[in-house]
Amino acid sequence: MDYKASGVDIDAGNETVRRIRGLARSTFTSGVLSDIGSFGGLFQIEPGRYREPVLVSSADGVGTKLKVAFMANKHDTVGADLVNHCVNDILVQGAEPLFFLDYLATGRLSPSVAESIVSGMATACRDNGCALLGGETAEMPGFYADGEYDIAGFIVGVVDRPRLINGRAVAVGDRLVGVPSSGLHTNGYSLARRIAFDTVGLKVDSHVGELGMTVGEALLEPHRSYLPMIKPLLAAGRIKGMAHITGGGITENLPRVLPHGTAAVVQRSSWTVPPLFQWLQRAGNVPDDDMLRTFNMGIGLIVVVAADQAEALIDELAARGGRDARVIGEVVAGEPPSVSYV
């Protein structure tokens, strides 16, 4: 018996590396000092660009959105999801991404599927000005079902310490500016899948009239990156805090950027909940509180600014692709930091 007979195909692994090497190289920035295949990735921060550089890191996954990708046999968008989610997580602290690493694990390695996943990652890395510096592809027979895999990402970014956004400047009276999401992003898929495929009984290619597309297309809409619209605004120093609305919704994520002594009031009528969320709630008979703690409900990012800066910020966001950003609430006195809805 040899290694291939036990389920691990080294030749498939080598073919995967051959296919993705060019994709990764296409993302390399001037700071990259190593090539794909090294034991460790090397990156140099541009000398003199930062007075007090602070590295900001984050790691995340795509969750059970992958199940929809398996059903649809579409794998490039989840790669972009992974990158954009991680980019947003460090952006809320004022950081711009430097490099990204990925981990792909599967039961039986398919070079074409791996290439599709990494292609999505590479596209998102280029769009965000971030290098895909390296990663790990693990073939683990017997651990994953045939045709399934898991992916995780790790990102490192940098921010000059005087421009670090940590929420400490947030004060009573500040406004909450909500920026629209592009669907479910990467959270709430266990509930969404149960509603769409188990309760309603749809197939991934079933067309849903009120969504104007198939349920698979709606659920695989890529996670939006907020870097292009937010990065140009960071230097002005007007942004006091930002919350990336991921797992836990507004209810759980907004308090993470509020200092002690403050809370948030969110006006639910200030934006129109997108049809996908309305359809899921109705089809699954999901209570309001669960919807707000599971999904982003159409708001993917919340920016906290002084009241007299809110309208100017909204105009600047609109000019950079943040159309339909709006004030959705305000900061009030309260303890501990929490969110209430009116």
* Domain-terminating residue out of 109, 137, 163: 163
Identify whether residues 24 and 91 lie together within a single domain. yes
- Residues 295 and 280: their CA atoms lie apart, in Å, by 10
pLDDT tens digits for range 59-99: 999 999 999 999 999 999 999 999 999 999 999 999 999 99
Q: Are residues 112 and 16 in the same domain?
A: yes
* Degrees to nearest 5, angle at CA 244 with 122 and 190: 80
Domain contains 169: no
Same domain? 232 vs 270: yes
Helix/strand/coil percentages in the chain, nearest 5: 40, 25, 40
9 pLDDT more than 80: no
Domain holding 128, by residue range, is 4-163
In sequence order, which residues have a C-beta less than 8 Å from that of residue 86 and are 6 or more positions away?
A: 58, 59, 60, 97, 100, 153, 154, 155
Rounded Cα–Cα distance for residues 233 and 157 (Å): 17
| Shared-domain flag, residues 208 and 319 | yes
Here the CATH number for the domain that contains residue 149 is: 3.30.1330.10
Query: Rounded to 10 degrees, what is the CA torsion of 310, 315, 319, 325?
Result: 60
The band of 13, judged by pLDDT with boundaries at 50, 70 and 90, is confident
> What is the identity of the amino acid at 178?
G
d(CA 212, CA 276): 10
- Domain with residue 319: its CATH number is 3.90.650.10
Residues 284-299 have pLDDT tens digits of 999 999 999 999 999 9
Task: Give pLDDT, residue 40.
Answer: 92
Summary mean pLDDT of the chain: 94
* pLDDT for the residue numbered 132: 97
DSSP 256: G
Q: Which residues, other chains included, contact 63 with Cβ-Cβ below 8 Å and sequence gap of 6+? A: 186, 187, 189, 190, 247
Domain boundary among 140, 163, 186: 163
**Residues 255, 106 share a domain:** no
Q: What is the pTM of this model?
A: 0.94
Both 207 and 334 in one domain: the answer is yes
Question: Is the domain of 199 the same as that of 90?
Answer: no
- 90 with 218, same domain: the answer is no
In a domain, 275, yes or no: yes
Same domain, 186 and 146: no
Q: With respect to residue 168, please indicate whether it lies within any of the assigned structural domains.
A: no
Helix locations, the chain, DSSP H: 10-25, 65-72, 76-91, 111-127, 189-193, 215-219, 227-230, 249-253, 275-284, 288-294, 310-319
Cα–Cα nearest to 230, from 56, 47, 97: 97
Q: Which long-range contacts (CB under 8 A, 24 or more apart) does 310-316 make?
A: 310/175, 310/177, 313/177, 313/233, 313/238, 313/239, 314/177, 316/232, 316/233
In a domain, 170, yes or no: no
Tell whether the model's pLDDT for residue 44 goes beyond 90. yes
User: Does the pLDDT value for residue 5 go beyond 70?
Assistant: no
* 149 bridge partner residues: 106
Is residue 278 situated within a structural domain?
yes
CA–CA separation, 31 vs 43, rounded Å?
A: 5
329 contacts 264 by C-beta, under 8 angstroms: yes
Of 18-27, 169-178, 304-313, where does mean pLDDT reach its minimum?
A: 18-27
Domain boundary among 134, 163, 192: 163
d(CA 230, CA 244): 12
- Per-position b or e across 74-94, b if 16+ CB within 10 A of its CB: bbbbbbbbbbbbbbbbbbbbb
Residues 197 and 323 in one domain: yes
**Total tally of structural domains belonging to the chain:** 2
Give yes or no: residues 279 and 320 share one domain: yes
Judge whether residue 3 has pLDDT over 70: no
Give yes or no: residues 227 and 119 share one domain: no
Quote the distance between the C-alpha of residue 216 and its chain's center: 19
For residue 94, CA distances in Å to 56, 97, 284 come to 9, 10, 38
Mapping DSSP onto H, E and C, the string for 277-296 reads: HHHHHHHHCCCHHHHHHHCC
